[in-house]
Chains A and B, each alone.
Chain A
Amino acid sequence: MKGDRKYIFMFLLPSAVLMGLFLYYPFFKSFYLSFYRTKGFFDKKFVGWDNFERLFTDKLLGAATLHTLELMLYVLLFQVGIALVLAVLVEAISRLKTFYRTVFFFPVVISGTAISLLFVLFYNYNFGLLNNLLANFGIEKIFWLEEGNALRAVAIPTVWHYVGFYFILFLTAMSKIPSDYYEAARLEGISAFKRTTKLTIPLIMSDIKVVITLAITGTLKVFEFVWVITSGQNGSEVLGTYMYKKAMVDQNFGYGSAVAIYMVIFGVLLALLANRLLKRDEITY
């Protein structure tokens, strides 16, 4: 159409400006800042690769990386796993489907902060729900958030929070599988279990891949749960909280930025790795 160029430009402009100012520019600025030693905004000195060298000797960062990886393991096993099982089960029933769909998604809409506070109340040593429960059975109280437990205590709400999201994605993917596939399977007399493992799961493999990638990159962004429940104490520091502490609490923007860049690279590498391991031909119906 005549004059389309004008519209293309105008319609894209607002998004381009906003994303340029608040995503691309800051990202490259972070990269630039990671080569400086800073104190607040005004005291800035070029130090070359110093911040990056520091990354390699920073024991706390190493620990935070390991904790993030452990959390990722729980997320992949339980969050994605439970979501897949629930989706298969809901797909198999005929009644109450809408009810389960609605209810399973509940936690997703609640803020991580609110859920974290809920778990603060659950884990409280003196009065928490869990120790209350144990007391009913005459079992001694447990320090739920002490060293060795804290990371797993944080992992439970983290995992629980987003099961519903992946559940809906899986269910959506399954609803796109043509029904004649299932009819053929029924005619062949294939059992429900086999139908799930040999038909449904292979057919939604590309969606499982997407979910795994989302779960991996999502775990790198975990912040609220750790911040509110443990503040990163007792071996539960993750990359997100560590970056926040370096940049915002210590006001060390240079090193904080280096940590952020490290997180981006780490995330991209993990996502590429996952994609490689799960490489498979795309299925089109």
Chain B
Amino acid sequence: MEPTISVKPNVQRGEFRRFKLSTVLIYVVLSAWAMTTIYPLFWIVNNSFKVSRDVMNNSFSVAWQPTFVNYTTAFDRINIGKSYINSLVMSGSTVLLVLIFGGLAAYVLSRFNFAGKRAIYSLLYATLLIPAFATVVPVYELLIKTGTVNTYWGLILPHTAGNLTFAILVIAGYMSTIPKELEEAAFIDGSNRWQMFYKVFVPISQPVFASASIFVFLWSYNDLFSALIFVSHKDVRPIVALLSEISSQYGTDFGLMATAVTLTVIPVLIVYLFVSKYIQKGLTEGAIKG
């Protein structure tokens, strides 16, 4: 019998080693970039546990003896808690409205054939070319006239409108892949269009609703431009606008600034870690191809 252990020829071994070297190099490059995304976060959280003087003297040292003074200041003196609530209410409502209205429109566009559908799509794509800068003055005027400036609606309505196109395109892309048989079966069971929408299409489209809601939430929560203009009053001010103000008012208190940044970033990061798997999923199925 031939021996079962064979010595691989040198050529192959050499190739194997070269392959490994390039793999190591790839991991080094990828890890280097990963450092640029992780380290700044660590840096800012770490410095939030120091008083300003220590941040100045050595911002690299680890805060082994953390102080919570910045956190108490943030909640007591500059009332970051209120801004949290404002942000969550406004961005949460925006997501909800975008999903309901966008879902309904996406359902129609993906499952019905009717005259004028192409025109509707063109109108949708056209909105992608309208930047917030080109709508801000008339929207501001509209909000003032209707008394909704500096109320929650002052941010919810423009943000809902602004995010609908993205949501409709992505959700419609997903819904168009749902087999027709399912619809026919539901129809034979006596469902009307409403029931078909929320009993069949919404449950099946969950992944794309999830990814759309992540993006809509992020864009709404993070949008400084609208926040500065439509909801600048301190009772309704969202967290990004507060951040921007802290930087101008308390710009020399580095510990406090680090804390404010940390407090803004942590909730979205936590949410992101839970739902990150949906991000690629939603984009894969959706109509991101403009």
Contact = CB atoms under 8 A, between A and B. Distances in A.
A114 B59 contact: no
Give the interface SS of chain A, mostly helix, strand, loop or mixed: helix
A23 B161 contact: yes
Contact of A12 (B41, B105, B144): B105
Contacts of A235: none
A103 B35 CA distance: 9
A227 B157 contact: no
A23 B135 contact: yes
Contacts of A101: 276, 280
A82 interface: yes
Interface string B118-142: 0010010001111111111111011
A24 B130 CA distance: 9
Interface residues of A, number: 97
B63 interface: no
A263 B134 contact: yes
A1 B111 CA distance: 11
A8 to B, nearest CB: 5
Interface in B255-290: 257-258, 260-261, 264-265, 268-269, 272-273, 276, 279-280, 283-284, 288-290
A11 B104 contact: yes
Nearest to B57: A127
B158 to A, nearest CB: 5
Contacts of B142: 21-22, 25-26
Most buried by B among A5, A24, A103, A169: A103
B161 A192 contact: no
A26 B160 CA distance: 15
Contacts of A172: 280, 283-284
Nearest to A103: B34
Contacts of A4: 112, 114, 193
B130 A264 contact: yes
B33 A33 contact: no
B135 to A, nearest CB: 4
Contacts of A129: 43, 59-60
Interface in B81-100: 100
A144 interface: no
In the A-B complex, list the 8 residue pairs whose CB atoms are closest, starting with the nearest: A111-B222, A22-B161, A26-B138, A29-B138, A26-B135, A127-B56, A11-B104, A260-B134
24 contacts: A11-B104, A15-B105, A26-B134, A26-B137, A82-B33, A86-B33, A89-B29, A90-B30, A101-B280, A106-B37, A111-B221, A112-B222, A112-B224, A120-B247, A121-B59, A121-B254, A121-B257, A164-B37, A210-B289, A221-B131, A221-B133, A244-B228, A247-B136, A267-B129
Interface of A: 1, 3-5, 7-8, 10-12, 14-16, 18-19, 21-27, 29-30, 33, 41, 82, 85-86, 89-90, 92-93, 96, 99-114, 117-118, 120-121, 124, 126-127, 129, 132, 160, 163-164, 168-169, 171-172, 175-176, 192, 206-207, 210, 213-214, 217, 220-221, 223-224, 227-228, 239-240, 243-244, 247-248, 253, 256-257, 259-261, 263-264, 267-268, 271
Interface of B: 22-23, 26-27, 29-30, 33-34, 36-38, 40-41, 43-44, 47, 55-56, 58-60, 100-102, 104-105, 107-108, 112, 114, 120, 123, 127-139, 141-142, 144, 157-158, 160-162, 164-165, 168, 187, 193-194, 197, 218, 221-222, 224-225, 228-229, 240, 243-244, 247, 251, 254, 257-258, 260-261, 264-265, 268-269, 272-273, 276, 279-280, 283-284, 288-290
